[in-house]
Amino acid sequence: MNNLFGIASVEISPAVIALNIIFSFLLQIAIAAVYKKTHKGLSYSSSFISTTVMVGVLGTVIMMIVRNNLIGAFALLGAFSLIRFRTILKETRDIAFVFFALVVGIAIGTGNYSIALISTFMVSLILLALNRFNVGSMTSGVGLILTFNAKNEFNVEAVNQSLSEYLDSLNLLQVRTHGVDINSYSFSIKLKDVLQSSEVVKILKNNPLISNVEIITGEHSVEY
């Protein structure tokens, strides 16, 4: 009767539990490092990194609990049915990283250490390669937004002519009225050398018709 419904003792030794959690934590840190290295969005959340690590480690703990234990599996299923995740992830790739961390955690929790280690290494290489070669990106290089105010007699074509030696591309995004006889311009630009941003600003400021020159990039913008 003691083995009915699989409720026989399947407890894992404390040493194995501790080693599994430590091993899972180390691999989750590696996954977090890959995420940080390949992140390209306009915002970066440190709390997402912590959450990913926690999800992976908890996945390990869960699999150690339900291993060969039917009652434990149903109990955890009931517990998870009470949890609703309301936070919307800002990037679709974040979902893949959460799943990546969870899969590795599950592999460790079930004792598949080789699968966990090799899959972490191989998938990380794939992610780094996708990032390195900008797979799926329609453009290369750093995109910048150029904004300034100019008087009505300003000629937009003059911008392209005066900055031609610095620019790879220049596209007008928006023109709107900013005041009496003043318009506000927004351009999408790509520089031949991003370090020449200061030269571009200097040239535009020397034009008496232009004021409030700004160049904005989301490349290194973060949100904590």
Domain range list for the chain: 4-132, 144-216
Assess whether pLDDT exceeds 60 at residue 4: no
Q: Residues 97-145: pLDDT tens digits? A: 989 998 999 899 989 999 999 999 999 999 999 988 877 665 555 578 8
| Residue tagged 């911008």 (tokens) | 159
Residue 114, token pair as written in the block: 């080789």
Q: Residues 150-206: pLDDT tens digits? A: 888 777 787 778 888 888 778 888 888 877 788 888 888 888 776 778 888 888 888
User: What is the pLDDT, as a whole number, of residue 115?
Assistant: 95
Name 125's Cβ contacts closer than 8 Å, sequence gap at least 6.
Answer: none
112: helix, strand or coil:
coil
Share of the chain above pLDDT 90, in %: 26
Edge-first strand order for the sheet with 182-191 is: 167-179, 182-191, 144-151, 210-216
User: What is the pLDDT, as a whole number, of residue 78?
Assistant: 60
Assess whether pLDDT exceeds 70 at residue 222: no
For residue 224, the 8-state DSSP code is -
User: What is the pLDDT, as a whole number, of residue 42?
Assistant: 59
What DSSP letter does each residue of 127-143 carry, written as one string? HHHHHHTTTT-S--S--
Average pLDDT along the chain: 80
Architecture, CATH, for domain 144-216: 2-Layer Sandwich (3.30)
Mean pLDDT calculated for residue range 67-96: 66
pTM of the entire structure?
A: 0.63
Assess whether pLDDT exceeds 60 at residue 86: no
Closest C-alpha to 163, from 212, 211, 207: 207
User: What is the pLDDT, as a whole number, of residue 80?
Assistant: 61
Assess whether pLDDT exceeds 80 at residue 57: yes
Question: Left if phi > 0, otherwise alpha if psi is -120 to 50, otherwise beta: which for 65?
Answer: alpha
User: What is the pLDDT, as a whole number, of residue 224?
Assistant: 41
User: What is the pLDDT, as a whole number, of residue 23?
Assistant: 97
User: What is the pLDDT, as a whole number, of residue 201?
Assistant: 87
More confident residue, 91 or 142: 91
